[in-house]
Structure 1
Amino acid sequence: MGEIADPARKSIGARRNPDSADAILEAAEAVLIEAGYAGFSIEAVARRARAGKPTIYRWWPSKAALLLEVYQRQKRVDIPDTESLEEDLVGFLINLFTHWRETSSGSVFRSLIAEAQSDETAAAALAGYAGGRRSHTGQIIERAKARGEIAGDIDPAVVADLVASYAWRHLLINRLDEPEAAIRKMVRYLLQGIEARGGQR
């Protein structure tokens, strides 16, 4: 008597089956929500998704790769375009903090950062992701440069790193309820600098 096919376990190959991949990603999200980072493993995800571990490892070669795709799948953060650099940066950070706070994506990204501390594969995945986000956030700075709002020799990547450093710190210490006034103060310090003007050095 032949085995009845389980619809949750479709045939797999080198190319990802979208339905199977979605089931695995949904299972990974559920495991993170229910068990947290400490309880997150490929084995737990495989059990939840009713998928084989080889399938998961074929499509995500590491725990970090799976965590990163779960995070990217969840992330929906609008980047404002108000024609004011201050308002764009403040709006972006408010949107980012709200997203991290109101969805499970904040805990997912914290988990990925934690994994990167002891796993070279995770560190490489995180560095690659951060590089892409630096370029993405740098577009805010590029727009301001094109408007003549900031000096032409400003490096957008460095400014993006400063913004990301502020955001990551708040994520890691779970201070995502920062009031707009505090976010705006940081952005003004960033844009205006802290050097005394007209005083002695």
Structure 2
Amino acid sequence: MLAAARDVISEKGYTGFSVEEVARRAGSGKTTIYRWYPTKADLFIAIYTAERHVSVPVPDTGDLLDDLEQYTISLWRFWAQHPAGAALKSLIAEAQGASEALEALRERFLPARTADVRQMLKRGAERGQVRAEDVDDKVTLWVGLSWFKLLVNELDQVSSVRRLMGHIAGTGLSR
């Protein structure tokens, strides 16, 4: 089922992606897919999660700025090179007008997808690199910056990532 969904998203993008087409290619019924994935957004989230997990490692170098830089560059490259990046843009756009997509994005996509950045920031707080009470705000800033770069097609501007991550980490440093 997920392989069929991955093929459809790769060929048709998020806007051309349909549960009907996935069911046809997977040789299963729509009701079976909806049992596992209640919405189109949920099915996309499952595909995105599997693909991103393989393509975007979570570094633990012992330095928050290094970790954020490596992770962000890896994620931006994934978004730029994989159909999941364009599909995520479409999901974000759909969420602006469809409450079902917004709920999937806010309740099921973001918590799991921000866990890596939150983990890096919490490790940074344990090392005294950031204040623990600032972790949630820093995650929000990181998501806002990354999604902005995704939405305006500036994922190739990796030379500025360290400086930008310095602002988020609170160091203001760049190398």
Category of TM-score, reference length = shorter chain: 0.7 to 0.9
Pairing 1:97-112 to 2, within 5 Å after superposition: 97-112=76-91
Equivalent of residue 60 in structure 1, options 37, 40, 43:
37
Partners in 2 of 1:46 and 1:141 — Cα distance? Answer: 40
Deviation track 1:1-50 (CA, whole Å, cap 9, x = no partner) reads xxxxxxxxxxxxxxxxxxxxxxx211111112212223211122222222
Partners in 2 of 1:159 and 1:27 — Cα distance? Answer: 36
Aligned to 2:101: 122
Pairing 1:128-167 to 2, within 5 Å after superposition: 128=107, 129-152=109-132, 154-167=133-146
Aligned to 1:178: 157
Q: Which has the higher contact order (CA 8 A, sep 6+)?
A: 2
- The answer as to whether partners of 1:64 and 1:115 remain within 8 angstroms in 2 is no
Deviation track 1:28-82 (CA, whole Å, cap 9, x = no partner) reads 1111221222321112222222221122122211111111111112112212112
Equivalent of residue 43 in structure 1, options 20, 33, 39:
20
- The answer as to whether partners of 2:42 and 2:104 remain within 8 angstroms in 1 is yes
Moved over 4 A (4+): none
Aligned to 2:57: 78
Q: 1:101 to 1:91 in 2, by over 3 A?
A: same
TM-score, reference length from structure 1: 0.76
Percent identity of paired positions between Structure 1 and Structure 2: 38
User: Which ranges in structure 1 are unaligned for 5 or more consecutive residues?
Assistant: 1-23, 194-201
- The answer as to whether partners of 1:134 and 1:157 remain within 8 angstroms in 2 is no
* 1:174 positional shift: 2.1
* 2:137 partner amino acid: V
Partners in 1 of 2:67 and 2:110 — Cα distance? Answer: 20
Partners in 2 of 1:133 and 1:57 — Cα distance? Answer: 22
The structure with more radius of gyration: 1
Equivalent of residue 74 in structure 2, options 95, 104, 108:
95
Aligned to 1:21: none
Counterpart secondary structure, 2:59: coil
- The answer as to whether partners of 1:68 and 1:112 remain within 8 angstroms in 2 is no
User: Which ranges in structure 2 are unaligned for 5 or more consecutive residues?
Assistant: none
Partners in 2 of 1:87 and 1:120 — Cα distance? Answer: 37
User: Root-mean-square deviation (CA), in Å?
Assistant: 1.8
